[in-house]
Amino acid sequence: MNNKRRLLASVVLIEILLVGCSQVSNISSSDPAPTGKPSVTEPIQTVNADNDPGEKDNLEEQQGELLSYTDEQINEILTAAKKAGLSKVYIPTVGLGVDDYLHSVKAGENEVNLSFIRGLITESSRELEPLHEIETTRKVQLTQTITGNWIKEKGSQEFLYFEIDGIYFSMKSAKQIDPEAYEKAVASMSVLE
């Protein structure tokens, strides 16, 4: 009899915790107040996520996980772009995968490398030449105005190559990637000013 009471008490306690936790997850105090105009951390929203919490979840699913950048990271990216001789630099406002964030920034000759934990974005004022023999290429429509190519080089993972306003991009990872997440990141690219 004593064991039954303990089991019943445990089940009731677990239910109370689960109900309480589900209530807390509906509260969001970290969402910034809408400013009316997009910033580098707020992609243009086509759905009014403020009016319906379900719409907000759907919007994040459609667009991917939003990225945020510190002032220090923004300055580092702008400095690298200037050092590389780029007239403008783009950053994604959506990550290249789950829990993505900017890890490091590096300036090279005519290019900037933005290293995220889910991949590397290279931006260049010159076309980026393949490093190895190309096995396959498939064209993809990334946005209404941006067309890209998924390129598979011999001995490496597939990567995404595209161009925006005279800036050439490659998005790649040494690990297996989620093509849909990379394509969402491209659609979120914004000029950093």
Distant-in-sequence, close-in-space partners of 56: CB < 8 Å, separation ≥ 6: 49, 50
What pLDDT sits at residue 144?
94
Domain chopping of the chain, boundaries: 71-192
What pLDDT sits at residue 64?
73
Q: pLDDT tens across 50-90, in order?
A: 444 444 444 445 557 899 999 999 999 999 999 999 999 99
- Closest alpha carbon to 183 in 160, 163, 164, 165: 160
Does the structure show a pLDDT above 60 at 137?
yes
β-pair type (119-124, 167-172): antiparallel
How many Å apart are CA 151 and CA 10, to the nearest integer?
55
The single residue listed with the structure tokens 């290293």 is 115
pTM of the model: 0.68
Report the sign of the C-alpha dihedral through residues 166, 77, 34, 37, in that order: negative
